Amino acid sequence: MKIAVLDWYTVSVSGDITTEELEKFGEVKVISLTKPEETAANIGDADIVLCNKVLITKEVMDSCPNLKYVGLFATGYNNVDVEYAAKKGITVCNAGQYSTNAVAQQVFAYILDRYSRVRDYDNAVKAGEWERSPAFSYFPIPTAELAGRTLAIVGYGSIGRRVAELGKAFGMNIIVSTRTKPADCPYEVTDIMTAAEKADIITFHCPLTPQTKGMVNKELLSVMKPDAVLINTSRGPVVNEADLAEALNNGTIAAAYLDVLEKEPMSPDTPIKQAKNCTITPHTAWAAFETRKRLVDIVCSNINAWMNGKPENKVN
């Protein structure tokens, strides 16, 4: 088998993960990043293509007659024309639930950053403010306990469930907004507007669909508490960035933490870049070493299952 890996840079920036496991399945060609116009040429005569965000279109598949399998280093598969792949007899498999712990962990890194203010106090200490304090304890920056706060979780998949578990461990009140009420949900389930009204913190873990695109907009933000915090680690277009920037700058809500943006890498003119009290991380919630290693293991397991005639995580 010939295997073409089209954007290995998105899995291993520093070389901390190798392609050794992939090489057990055949001859591996590794490309760091692939431009759209290079896709067909980079696949060449490969039987298997592995990618994260590279577009695998009808034209690409027609240009690569040997292609039999597309494996994704991701849960989402909107970069692949899965219907046309099915017509061509090309199997497409994704990798689900590899990042649950890492993303939930980052959500609470944001929450603790806001409520414990470790970063702000470290800066104050290094600026000499504690040295000038008249008392042993110096606490002009307000902090607060999480216990008793309301955490609203939009989307109740594996990540939403894990965030709920962690919130419960901190003594938080959990409410959930999801398309259909899950049978095993021990928390209050409500609509998105009610969740936004009640939330001290609202965090988004929903897929990007026509219904969720732009869900965070002026209307939703207007019903939130002025001291509320908004977190998005799902998909960038869930948030209307202009509306969020306006809400932050006007004090409609207190703060936002974003790991995903509408355009990635971030556009220099995005309205959210200079918004008040907005912390942005460059799509890193999923990127812990253990998480990426787990991702590669799932991709390898998918290939093995497909080669044995029993494909797993097939999306088409």
Rounded Cα distance, 113 and 106, in Å = 10
Q: Is 235 a catalytic residue?
A: yes
Strands of 2-5's sheet, edge to edge? 27-30, 2-5, 48-51, 69-72, 91-93
Torsion angle of C-alpha atoms 216, 217, 218, 224, degrees rounded to 10: -10
Q: What are residue 79's DSSP bridge partners? A: none
Between 100-116 and 158-169, two packed helices, what is the crossing angle to 10 degrees? 40
Burial class (CB in 10 A: 0-12, 13-18, 19+), 300: middle
Active-site residue identified among 149, 161, 235, 292: 235
Active-site residue identified among 27, 145, 264, 290: 264
Instruction: Give the angle subtended at the CA of 40 by the CAs of 39 and 44, to the nearest 5°.
Output: 120
Classify each residue of 242-258 as buried b or exposed e, where b means 16 or more C-beta atoms within 10 Å of its C-beta: ebbbebbeeebbbbbbb
Pairing mode, strands 48-51 and 2-5: parallel
Q: Is 283 a catalytic residue?
A: yes
Q: Is 149 a catalytic residue?
A: no
CA Rg value for the chain: 22
187 touches 150 (CB < 8 A): no
Instruction: Give the angle subtended at the CA of 230 by the CAs of 227 and 236, to the nearest 5°.
Output: 155
| Spacing of C-alpha 63 from chain mean position | 32
Rounded Cα distance, 71 and 201, in Å = 36
Task: Give the residue numbers marked as catalytic.
Answer: 235, 264, 283
